Amino acid sequence: MSLFDWFADRRKDTPISKERQEREIADDLWQKCPACDALTYSKDLKTNFQVCPNCGHHNRTTSEERLEQLVDLDTWTPLDSDLVSGDPLEFVDRQSYRDRVRATQAKTRLSDAIVTGIGQLRGDSIHQPIPVALGIMDFRFMGGSMGSVVGEKLTRLIERATAEHLPLVVCCASGGARMHEGIFSLMQMAKTSAALERHRAAGQLFISVLTHPTFGGVTASFAMLGDIILAEPGALVGFAGGRVIEQTIRQKLPEGFQTAEYLMEHGLIDAIVRRPKLTRRLNQLISLHQPLSSSHSNGKLTSSGSNYSESFPPPSLN
């Protein structure tokens, strides 16, 4: 037997392991859906807003991707991007909090777990571009946890929206308050909630978008204070985790507990919106909630600053 035949026979007899098969797929070229195991070309997945075309599973998306999906980037003005976390408690676990923040900043190229700014929502054939104050949380940065910087950036965004009479949209993705900052992180719950109350008292709109996952102190504060609360399909939303609740109350939780669909069924959110349709839905809702003035133009009511006399189709759940 020739050496070539020996290698050929050996290759036939040696099964290819699943681990080896996965290694042979080039990094970032294909993405495997965690829900249905379907392989999707990465560029196609990005074009489809990181939603699996086979089963509709919503993969996590970065703040940069979501910003590109929602806003005309030429109109985007970031706010307070220079704010960074201190280390008031000099917290240390396996490494110091200060070192952990620096490492995460280097890995994600973010200053903290939220990006804030002002820009125009992407328009369509029906809606003109609408200026909004937008906050986008990023789960890659320490699980999207809310520390002093997240609370301060969000509060400043809310106050800017109130002062400039802008609708406010916040996309939430968080594991909760950041334990490394102790009471300082918990104080952000009250601070953001107070700012939202002033925004509401001024008659301004706040739309909260719950994405997977939204938990802890974020759920217990600004995430659930929206005038309108939207959620992505399959998003898990709650305060404590399901296993913690079961161990505490010693009861089995209902099937699908804490999913967006369960919360929708029980009246805790207003609508479930697929990610590719989120921009259009936001345009619809903000347009419908523009304050009308008592003046008339050609016999039609006009909005303060813009003419919103066009008829808008009623929102759908999809």
Candidates 177, 261, 260; CA nearest to 215 is 177
Q: Is residue 194 part of a domain?
A: yes
Residue where a domain terminates, one of 30, 60, 90: 60
Query: What pLDDT is recorded for position 84?
Result: 93
Q: Do 38 and 110 belong to one domain? A: no
Query: What pLDDT is recorded for position 192?
Result: 98
Do 151 and 115 contact (CB within 8 A), yes or no? no
Q: Where are the beta strands (DSSP E) in the chain?
A: 30-32, 39-41, 77-78, 114-120, 131-137, 168-174, 206-214, 228-231, 271-272, 292-297, 300-303
Residue-wise pLDDT tens for the chain (318 aa)? 566 666 566 655 555 555 555 555 556 789 999 999 999 999 999 999 999 999 999 999 999 999 999 999 999 999 999 999 999 999 999 999 999 999 999 999 999 999 999 999 997 767 778 999 999 999 999 999 999 999 999 999 999 999 999 999 999 999 999 999 999 999 999 999 999 999 999 999 999 999 999 999 999 999 999 999 999 999 999 999 999 999 999 999 999 999 999 999 999 999 999 999 999 999 999 999 886 543 333 433 333 333 333 333 444 444
Going across the sheet that includes 206-214, the strands are 77-78, 114-120, 131-137, 168-174, 206-214, 228-231, 271-272
Q: Do 39 and 135 belong to one domain? A: no
Residues 6+ apart with CB under 8 A from 241: 215
Cα-atom radius of gyration of the chain, to the nearest Å?
23
Q: Say what the pTM is.
A: 0.82
Name the one residue in this structure whose structure tokens are 């217990």.
Answer: 220
Q: Measure CA 110 to chain center.
A: 15
Q: Rounded CA gap, 210 and 42, in Å?
A: 24
Residues 6+ apart with CB under 8 A from 318: 273, 274, 277
Reading the block at residue 130, the tokens are 């609408």
Q: Domain containing 189 — which CATH number? A: 3.90.226.10
Q: Is residue 149 part of a domain?
A: yes
Q: In the 8-state DSSP scheme, what is residue 275? A: G
Q: Do 100 and 190 belong to one domain? A: yes
Q: Is residue 87 part of a domain?
A: yes
Q: Do 54 and 88 belong to one domain? A: no
Query: What pLDDT is recorded for position 14?
Result: 55
Q: Is residue 11 part of a domain?
A: yes
Q: Rounded CA gap, 168 and 170, in Å?
A: 7
How many structural domains is the chain composed of?
2
Q: Rounded CA gap, 108 and 36, in Å?
A: 28
Q: Rounded CA gap, 232 and 219, in Å?
A: 15
34: containing domain: 1-60
